Structure 1
């Protein structure tokens, strides 16, 4: 709309493009539309792409996700972006990229969660003792670079 005001003032496309930080070709397209249909031709038409899943369809997706991956044929109980992408394709016949699935879920308040894989039988006290007492002997002393060790640099020739 600022461009339309400046068209009325007769400003050059190059000046408008520079001030609005857009390409001259964009300003040329805007001016052509403005000359044909006035300022209303420059009004925003909304986002370039609309979401593929409406809020109603996303609610259906949430119900499908609640059933779990095993109910949809996967061998374990882990939802991945790739699996959700496949589920969307099978259930709704819509195509998303993995990044698109991540954005869709984030937009609806979902977050990435990585489960802590700890054995139920894990004994934290025993693990701490092993790390303190046994690990140093297993690890051994650190290698020091010295004469005869491999190095990325060559000694200076004399």
Structure 2
């Protein structure tokens, strides 16, 4: 359900709360609202137990994010500084590393890399791939190595005719 739809349904329930307070029957509230009498019965029970606040939306279904937006902002600052600034070797963030940072910064432990990935995606982060070749790569040294060293250490290929 979209946030707009959730808000629309909440407004409908709150309008029903006003009708309940006026003494309108549940059958009439169902007719005015265009919903089933069973739904109105549930609403009425919630209204009796908690007033209009009892009819407010509980938010989206499912598990709540365990890291607050404020907590993730702190994690994001560490991620933006880079892996080496966080004490890791190399320039690549892995999901395991990000998970460790989340635990260090917020105290929340994510059990699997997929959970870390879902959290990152929920905050607008995307997968990045490192450049295929290191910036420090010396093409001349690679060419020399391939032509002089590799032929000497290359294992013999079995089953090939020359």
TM-score if structure 1 supplies the norm length?
A: 0.48
TM-score if structure 2 supplies the norm length?
A: 0.47
* Larger relative contact order (Cα-Cα within 8 Å, sequence gap ≥ 6): 2
